[in-house]
Structure 1
Amino acid sequence: MYVSKIDRKVGIEVYATKTPGISGIIKYFAEDFIVEEMLVNGSKASINHNEVLLQDLKNHRTLTDYLLCVLVKRDKDNFLAIKALAKGLGLRAEDIQIAGIKDTRAVTAQHITLRKVSVEDLQKVSINGIEVHPIGFFHTKISPYYLLGNQFRIIIRNIRHSRTTIKERISKTISELRKIGGIPNFFGHQRFGTRRPITHLVGKAIVKGNLEKAAMIFLAKAMPYENPESQIVRKQLWETGDFKQALKDFPKRLHYE
């Protein structure tokens, strides 16, 4: 079966199934991709959060510094959301802990712990695209150790096939996957990026001890799927090595650069 060029770029050279896909677009709207986190103790972070009685939380604080909350964010990078929340609360970013990183182009709900923050302080903070709901107190800061997994609800739009064809292809694909025992645990675009799959290239340069090359790939290697303006400024930096000019030219949306 034909493997797309962008899949080959991240090392996916074969597919587990031979049935053609159904095409379509995911994440057309942030609301098309819902992620809700689950912890090993059964706690589920829901985007439709049921409010805890805040008075109960205020009256039953335990001997811990960690307030456990559900963070709901819409169309926001995880780290930028944490940074904004930390600023609003007057904390360091490291005082806010998460169990797992969630998608940017999505509506996501996840557990976080806030160190030495009261319910009253939290109620004073208002940040666009972010909601924080206190649900209790935790004996320590949260970490990936407590993460069980995520539940997804995904809408696929612009599928150019009949309902019959869609059902038939999905059924055949599921049948093929059952025969091999499930879905192979490939590292795919979620780890490498879709518009700009460079993470593995940066990592390879770091492993080889070439930090300058790693930095240049991260900053200046243009990819055909990203914003045209970003491609232009990256190519200029790649060709000239003029970092002062790049600092002026790079769009502000390239936060990490």
Structure 2
Amino acid sequence: MSFDPLSKIIGLEGYATDTNGIGGVLKSRTTDFRVEEISTPLHLDPRGRFTVARITLTNWETNRFCTNLARILSIPRNRIFFAGTKDKRAVTQQLFVIDANQNKVSQVEMPDVEIEILGRTHQKIGFGNHRGNRFTIVARGCSHSDGTPMTEQEAMAEVERIKAKLDQNVGKDLFPNWIGPQRFGSGRPVTAEVGRHIIADRWEDAVMTYLSMKGITENTDVENFRKFIRENGPIEEALEIIPKWLGFEKRMLEQIIRQPDDWVAAIKKLPNNLQLMTIHALQSIVFNKSLNARISADLPISVPVAGDLVGRIDEKGQLDAGSCIVVE
């Protein structure tokens, strides 16, 4: 069984069933992929400092949206809080907590952005508030293994067969929740590689990887910029050819030019959530590989066995690391 290069990099090298699947294409249209974030409730208070808004984005990368919103509101980027980073090519809905006047937020107009003001709060929101996502996904062009088109009825029948096989292989109503390409960078799985350098205290390597690592699918202008960095280093001339949409890379590059060798300061030019995601992405590769190994070894995915590390889930739905023990 062969796997594409991206799948191998991020640890997606196995299946839970031997079924053929339904083929098809995801995200053929932006509206084919809808994400509704599930987060912990916020306590609204009319005297609260922060504005709470439910915001629907169409084809917006979360961090880029926050950067633009901060500019419109004339506030620092780090005064906009949210729980999770969402897919760009999608219609996404999630809560944002914004350190700005409620009326000012309600007057913001941006293309493909819908803002619903919910009220005010004293609370911020962050990764710890994230509970999950509710997806509505359309797969187009479903086909049999020989390439012939499937009808909708045939596709749904195959889905039911896959579910039955999953019930048989991993347990009734269970699903191996592998972590997909978005966590790592779909066209350039760079986040985990940066995280690998950060945990080893190799900050220069982390910066150079983020700036110059080759992508699997990037356009010519971006490829040329990254090649220039690899061959010449982060020098001022690189600013002349950097594509304008590489905002994070530009800020990192400008920082290194201002303060050569201060690689930590350059990494800190990334938004806080993206800095954290580099570590989460590395953890996610470990998770994907561990899950695949567990299924391949015919071990249960929902029942602990000897050698597993188990712990208590707190009232926020997070693992209480201090309670973890090894199963004997």
What TM-score, normalized to structure 1?
Answer: 0.83
Tell me, what secondary structure is at the counterpart of 1:183?
coil
200 and 122 in structure 1: CA distance in 2 versus 1, 3 angstrom threshold: closer
Shift of 1:104: 1.2
2:127 corresponds to 1:138: no
After superposition, the Cα gap between the structure-2 partners of 1:216 and 1:225, relative to the gap in structure 1 and judged at 3 Å, is same
Q: Match for 1:178 among 161, 167, 180?
A: 167
Q: Residues 172, 227 of structure 1: CA spacing in aligned structure 2 closer, same or farther, 3 A cutoff?
A: farther
In 2: Cα distance, 1:97 partner to 1:150 partner: 17
**SS of the counterpart of 1:256?**
helix
> Deviations for 1:58-87, whole angstroms, at most 9, x for unmatched residues?
xx9623112211111111111121121122
Q: Structure 2 CA distance, aligned partners of 1:158 and 1:234?
A: 35
1:76 paired with 2:60, answer yes
Structure 2 residue corresponding to 1:108, chosen from 73, 76, 92:
92
Does residue 215 (structure 1) correspond to residue 215 (structure 2)? The answer is no
Change beyond 3 A, Cα 1:25–1:204: same
SS in 2 for 1:253: coil
Q: TM-score, normalization: structure 2?
A: 0.66
Shift of 1:8: 0.7
What SS class does the counterpart of residue 161 from structure 2 fall into? Answer: helix
- Contact 1:81–1:130 at 8 Å: present in 2 too? no
Q: C-alpha distance in 2, partners of 1:32/1:104?
A: 12
* Cα distance in 2 for residues equivalent to 1:241 and 1:139: 45
Letter in 1 for 2:33: F
The answer on whether the counterparts of 2:106 and 2:117 sit within 8 Å (CA) in structure 1 is no
1:83-162 mapped onto 2 (5 Å cutoff): 83-118=67-102, 120-160=103-143, 161-162=149-150
2:82 alignment partner AA? I
Is the CA contact (8 Å cut-off) linking 2:37 and 2:133 kept in structure 1? Answer: yes
Cα distance change of structure 1 residues 85 and 145 upon mapping to structure 2, 3 Å threshold: same
**Alignment partner, residue 31 of structure 1:** 31
Which stretch has the larger CA shift, 124-133 or 159-168?
159-168
- Separation of aligned partners in 1, 2:240 and 2:72: 28
**Cα distance in 2, alignment partners of residues 90 and 233 from structure 1:** 31
CA shift, 1:165, in A, is 4.8
Cα distance in 1 for partners of 2:210, 2:76 equals 26
Matched residue of 1:87: which SS?
Answer: helix
Whole-angstrom distance in 2 between the partners of 1:147 and 1:210 = 30
Note the residue ranges of structure 2 that are not aligned, 5 or more in a row: 144-148, 250-328
Q: Following TM superposition, by how much is the alpha carbon of 1:129 offset from its aligned partner in structure 2, in angstroms?
A: 2.5
Determine helix, strand or coil for the equivalent of 1:38: strand
Paired AA for residue 3 in structure 1: F
More displaced 10-residue stretch of structure 1: 123-132 or 67-76: 123-132
CA distances 1:104-139 after superposition (whole Å, capped 9, x unpaired):
111111111222413x22233222232221112334
> 2:5 aligned with 1:5, yes or no?
yes
Distance 1:202 1:209 in 2: 11
Measure the CA separation in 2 of the matches of 1:3 and 1:165: 26
1:234 deviates by: 1.5
Q: Partner residue of 1:169? A: 158
Partners of 1:27 and 1:105 within 8 A in 2: yes
2:188 to 191, 196, 219: 196
- Shift of residue 144 of structure 1? 3.4
Higher relative contact order (CA 8 A, sep 6+): 1
Quote the residue 1:226 is aligned against: 218
What amino acid sits opposite 1:149 in the alignment? G
Distance 1:199 1:143 in 2: 19
Query: What SS does structure 1 have at the residue aligned with 2:97?
Result: strand
**Cα offset, 1:29, TM superposition:** 2.2
2:237 maps to which residue?
Answer: 245
Aligned to 1:150, what secondary structure does the other structure show? strand
Tell me, what secondary structure is at the counterpart of 2:21? coil
Alignment length (residue pairs): 240
Q: Distance in 1 between matches of 2:55 and 2:19?
A: 39
- Alpha-carbon distance between aligned partners in 1 of 2:99 and 2:238, rounded to the nearest angstrom: 38
